[in-house]
Structure formats: C-alpha cells, structure tokens
Amino acid sequence: MHIADGVLGTPVLMAGIAMTLAGTVLGLRKLDDDKIPFAAVLSACFFVASLIHVPLGPSSVHLIFNGLIGLILGWLAFPVMLIALVLQAIFFGFGGVVVLGVNCLNIALPAVMVGALLRPLRHRIPERILGFLAGSGAVLLTGIMVSLSLYLSGEAFSSTARVVFWGNLPLSVLEGVISGFIIVLISKVKPEVLNGVQSNA
C-alpha cells in the first residue's frame, strides 16, 4: 500500500496532504485518555504487519489491519496510521516523506468508512463476520484508492494501477479472515474494547 516518492503528481500529493491533515485533526479531537492504549497497540500492529511487504510496481502489498483499526478507533485511524507511516519512512525507507499524506489517506480513510458502516451492526451480526467484512472491505477500498492515486498521476501508471488493484484482491480475503479471528478473540478476552466502539465515530 506504500507508494514511493517521486511517483505521484503534485495535485494528488497536495490533496493527500490536505485531507490527511484534516483527518488527523478530527482524530486527535476524539482522543481520550482511555483510548490511548488501544491506539498505541493498534498503531504497533499496523507498523509490524506492514513491514512484511511484497513490492508491486511503485507500490507494495501487505497486511495493514485498517478495517480492524477503523472499527475500534474510528477517526483515530488517521493519527494512528500517520505515526506508523512516519516511522516506517524514516527508519526503513518504506513509501516516502513527500507521499506520506497520500499513503496515510489511502489507508486511513477506508478504515474510517468501513468502521462507520459496520459499527451500527456490532450486535446484529456474528463477530467473525463483522471482522471479515471490516478487514476485507477496508483493504479492498485501500486497493482502489492506491490504484486511483496512481491513475490520476498520469496514463503511464494506468497499467500499474490495474496490477495494484488486482494484487490486493487476494490480500483482502486473507486480511478479512485474520481480522475475523482477531475480533472473535477480542470479544472473548477483552469484550469492553468492542462494547465501546459505538463511541468512536
């Protein structure tokens, strides 16, 4: 999901920066003391999971758990993702500094969208299905946004955009299955995490 520096057009970069700043401000406004531990843990999960990535043209494919993060933290997904992406760019050279806004937007916005859509269904569908829908849906949306970012930066990236989109389809299924197991586990060992998701919108 990381797009490298020097690939995207200036309008795409500027739009990504502006929207990520807006999302981060909204997220920080919802940051209460009781959410800090969950935010820290989920940021670390995203950081570690996305270190294991497979390069795919100017982007990459890897687990991100953004659906899980969006479901539990809502708008806090933006600062959570941004912190992890900054550390990855600085210490490991994943993605880049200039493209941070776009990379964060492509991962965090689907998290927020999926979380807002599925949060009202928390008590209506089984936890495993909830986790699968969150995980697979967010990754699918992220794949679409990464592809769109590349496509909007020039026709030279149109074929790469298609490859990135199709490359994320099997990943969306895998992440959905893993997220389903994680939600079931959380519901058994620490159900208060899920019981409080209604307040994170």
Percent of the chain with pLDDT over 70: 90
38-52, 133-147, 158-172: range with lowest mean pLDDT? 158-172
Alpha helices in the chain (DSSP H): 10-29, 36-49, 66-73, 77-92, 100-118, 127-151, 158-189, 192-195
Note the CATH number of domain 10-200: 1.10.1760.20
Rounded average pLDDT over 25-29: 94
In whole angstroms, what is the distance from residue 11 CA to residue 163 CA? Answer: 23
Global pTM reads 0.86
pLDDT reported for residue 1: 63
In DSSP terms, 60 is beta-bridged to: 55
What phi and psi values does residue 56 have, to the nearest 5 degrees? -140, 90
Task: Mention every residue, 6+ apart, whose C-beta is less than 8 A from residue 108.
Answer: 20, 23, 66, 70, 77, 78, 80, 81, 82
Task: Mention every residue, 6+ apart, whose C-beta is less than 8 A from residue 122.
Answer: 130, 194, 197, 198
pLDDT reported for residue 198: 47
Q: Which 8-state DSSP code applies to residue 123? A: T
Angle among Cα 41, 43, 49 to the nearest 5 degrees reads 100
- Higher-pLDDT residue of 46 and 135 is 135
pLDDT reported for residue 197: 53
Rounded average pLDDT over 133-157: 87
pLDDT reported for residue 191: 79
Q: Which 8-state DSSP code applies to residue 201? A: -
Q: Which 8-state DSSP code applies to residue 2? A: P
Q: Note the residue count of the chain.
A: 201
What is the CB neighbour count within 10 angstroms for residue 155? 8
